[in-house]
Amino acid sequence: MWVQPKAVEGSLALKEFSKNPVEEYDVERIEKRRPKKKNAKNDRDFEYLVKWKDYPASSNTWEPHANIEDTEAFATFKLNPVTEYDVERIVKRRPIVNNARGAGDFEYLVKWKDYPASENTWEQHAGIKKTDAFAAFMRQPVEEAAPRSRRAAR
């Protein structure tokens, strides 16, 4: 059982909480997590997509760690985490200059599945080279962005 400790804007619990403030909701499972900020490191830095028991998937909501940390579903999720990020496609690449390995290295602008384009990130080849999206990108004419020095600010 989970009781909404505070109403979170946009959550199913907020809608239901306003109708019946003592209503309890069962967390069926945690679907996945997403970072709330760049360089997220610990559980509190993430939001979790909650599948509510007896509600359709369309009622899933993103909840902060504090709202789900004491649930059995969260404990299960921690033991068997779902892949956090899926590559939807590679948008473009750019060469890395001034790197330790010399010329020929690239980083790739990644569009992440289920995330808006504003969340696209530049990633190194090693982190994405085994994805279908990377293979598809390499089969097409490559759109390259201007090089970025390894020492330049991100």
How confident is the model at residue 35, as a pLDDT?
A: 83
Domain 87-147 in the same topology as domain 12-79:
yes
CA distance readout (Å), 23 to 14, 64, 84, 101: 11, 19, 30, 59
How confident is the model at residue 7, as a pLDDT?
A: 46
Mean pLDDT within 40-63: 88
Percent of the chain with pLDDT over 70: 68
8 Å CB contact between 46 and 37: no
Answer yes or no: is pLDDT of 16 > 70.
no
- CATH number listed for the domain at residues 87-147: 2.40.50.40
Answer yes or no: is pLDDT of 64 > 80.
yes
What are the residue ranges spanned by the domains of the chain?
12-79, 87-147
- CATH number listed for the domain at residues 12-79: 2.40.50.40
Provide the whole-model pTM. 0.45
How confident is the model at residue 74, as a pLDDT?
A: 92
Answer yes or no: is pLDDT of 65 > 90.
yes
How confident is the model at residue 72, as a pLDDT?
A: 92
Tokens of 154: 């991100």
Answer yes or no: is pLDDT of 57 > 90.
no
Instruction: Kindly report, residue by residue over 87-127, the tens digit of the pLDDT.
Output: 889 999 888 876 555 556 788 898 888 778 888 888 877 66
Residue 105: strand, helix, or coil: coil
